[in-house]
Structure 1
Amino acid sequence: MKKEIGILVLMSAVLFSGCGSDRGSGSTQGASESPSNQVTAQPEQETHAKLIEASENEKVKLYAIKETKNVIEGVTLDIDGSQKDFDWEIADTGTKPQVFYTDLTGDGKEEAVITINTGRGTDLNTYDIHVINAGDLSEIKVQNYKETVADQIETHVTKNEDGNLAIKVKAQGKYYEFSYAADPGLEVQDKLNFGGTVIYELENQKIISRIGGSVGTSPIYVCGFHITYKFDSSKNEFIADQIKVEP
């Protein structure tokens, strides 16, 4: 009888030890694997990228790729989850880029629009504009102000005997004439200069640019040009549609 009791005690001890070992093994496996963490983990670059600016509805976001003290070199543009890198530079002018999400082409689909201040100072205020197709993230060209001036604007400047400047402008077949009371000692060229003021804005789902026409080495602005752009589907480009001249 004692022998049978001893055998039973020994078997119980072995079974208890085996069960404890199984529970310990299961606990260790659960701690080493975390399926939920694997699903939500994101790449370190994406997590820590610096957000520069976003559209009002946050469908479009602009991130910095590399940032030094005074300039951002390269950006990542995120449009509703799709991303693409661009080699745009953003200087520290004190003015942040503006980001929009609106239909400019008239096809019922929004485009991402980014305006970047490229220069700011005394008699200087210049911007770049970028329009991005939200479908394939390709950039749609906006006609450069230099092309618009070369193709559609003619100017002529002369100095009268009284020292005033006589300014003549032809834009899209319309003529404008006005005078400007300049310093008698001012040396002027025979045409207006452009490039010191180039500002892009959006009005009623259209691109608007305001460029200044100036005289003299240190620019003296004598008139402004208000340009409205339209989308040319055959060229896949925004071109100047209307030009107004304001003394």
Structure 2
Amino acid sequence: MKLKAAALLLAALLIPFSPSSASASETGEVAIDWNGESVRTSVPSYIENGVTFVSIDMISKLNGLSASWLPDEGLARLWMDRGGVFVFKPGTGYADDMDKRYTLGAEIAVKNGVVMLPLRFIAEMAGADISWDQTNNKVSVIQKRMAVASVPGTRNRLFAISEDKGEYMGITLEWNGMLKSFPSWRNPSTVGSPPRLLTQDISGDGKPEAIILLNAGSGTGVYLEEPHVVNSRTFKEIGIQDPLEAARQRLVSGVERVGKDTVIRVMADGTVRERHLDKQESDGESPGGLTFGSIIKYEVRGGKLVAILAGAEGIENYLGEAVVTYILQNGAYTAKSVSFSFYQ
């Protein structure tokens, strides 16, 4: 019995203290330093399963976002200034945006009538850096600048180098703490046209790339994205074939009158699609084929980068879309295939 007790005591002494192994009851109140100054709120911050939770009013101190507790809905909602809405519901261990669910590692709770939110998950999205001082049981938050795009739950972020006359003049990519600036990149600084940052493996080597999508033009009937793919190990930018060039090489379309109807035929990589439009559906013009180039967007589908080009008959009568699928070949992303489908 004495040997067993001694063994248990030795095991306890050998277990290191860390936030990831400490519950709220084990750590008690956690001190918070905010840009070098100690802050306190009416509801103490705490750590649970390695996740630091702070009151919603402390989260609202971050630049670039706003957060509100909605008692009628029983949840907290967070709005990013650059775009994006996140929902945090007490009793759950995740955050939701419109497209995805993010696991937090511990449940959201309400303490003394105040909702407590995960500090690192939110602060890093806003562009802040978080550090843990185990000796003093203290979390430090430093926010020198706002992130103009980020991947939730990571330190993969974009920052503007400078801003002038409604435009970001150059972009800095942060990838897991490493920084690389691209001074020639441009993007509007308006809320409605933020850059996008994706992190997925599109090369097929099992390691994610940084995919940066900049707004190159928007307005009535126009939306153009400019893609950049950066190797996350070397920070080298990889070239991408112009999707319009790929469409011109591999897609042929025709518009002709057949009686009272307009017939649209599109052949992409040997596959033919056809649609008949009556007079009301057609805009009355017959330019000889669909036009592409006024709307170009990018996505990742099935582990591949794709460009989506809206095809129009005449002026802004968008009937379908061409999809250019890229593969990494000879050091650049080139079109593997081009397909076309009509809108339903």
TM-score, with structure 1 as normaliser: 0.71
Change (3 A) 1:57 1:241: farther
The aligned counterpart of 1:165 is 262
Q: More relative contact order in 1 or in 2 (CA 8 Å, sep 6+)? A: 1
Distance 1:142 1:57 in 2: 28
The aligned counterpart of 1:214 is 312
Paired residues in the alignment total 199
Task: Give the residue type in structure 2 aligned to 1:176.
Answer: R
Distance 2:285 2:162 in 1: 44
1:114 aligns with 2:212: yes
Q: 5 Å matches for 1:168-187?
A: 168-182=265-279, 186-187=284-285
Q: CA deviation at 1:193?
A: 0.8
The aligned counterpart of 1:70 is 166
The aligned counterpart of 1:37 is none
Query: Equivalent residue of 1:149, what SS?
Result: helix
1:151 aligns with 2:243: no
Higher helix proportion: 1
Q: CA deviation at 1:156?
A: 1.3
Q: 5 Å matches for 1:167-246?
A: 167-182=264-279, 186-216=284-314, 218-232=315-329, 234-246=330-342
Identity in percent? 26
Query: Equivalent residue of 1:147, what SS?
Result: helix
C-alpha distance after superposition, 1:75-112 (max 9, x if no partner): 11122233222211112360322212221111122211
Distance 2:221 2:283 in 1: 20
Query: Equivalent residue of 2:147, what SS?
Result: strand
Task: Give the residue type in structure 2 aligned to 1:148.
Answer: A
Contact 2:247/2:324 (8 A) holds in 1? no
C-alpha distance after superposition, 1:149-182 (max 9, x if no partner): 11111111112331x3211111101112222234
1:55 aligns with 2:151: yes
Contact 1:156/1:167 (8 A) holds in 2? yes
The structure with more radius of gyration: 1
Distance 1:135 1:169 in 2: 41
Q: CA deviation at 1:113?
A: 1.0
Query: Equivalent residue of 2:244, what SS?
Result: helix
Instruction: State which of 61, 72, 84 in structure 1 corresponds to 2:180.
Output: 84
Distance 2:326 2:271 in 1: 18
Query: Equivalent residue of 1:148, what SS?
Result: helix
Instruction: State which of 187, 194, 202 in structure 2 corresponds to 1:96.
Output: 194
C-alpha distance after superposition, 1:194-247 (max 9, x if no partner): 11221111233222322111122x321122223332222x24324243524224
Distance 1:228 1:220 in 2: 24
Contact 1:59/1:101 (8 A) holds in 2? no
TM-score, with structure 2 as normaliser: 0.53
The aligned counterpart of 1:105 is 203
Distance 1:223 1:90 in 2: 27
Task: Give the residue type in structure 2 aligned to 1:198.
Answer: I
Contact 2:286/2:313 (8 A) holds in 1? yes
Distance 1:58 1:118 in 2: 26
Query: Equivalent residue of 1:51, what SS?
Result: coil
The aligned counterpart of 2:51 is none
Q: CA deviation at 1:59?
A: 3.3
Q: CA deviation at 1:143?
A: 2.1
Instruction: State which of 223, 235, 242 in structure 2 corresponds to 1:125.
Output: 223
Q: What RMSD in Å do the two structures reach over aligned CA positions?
A: 2.4
Query: Equivalent residue of 1:108, what SS?
Result: coil
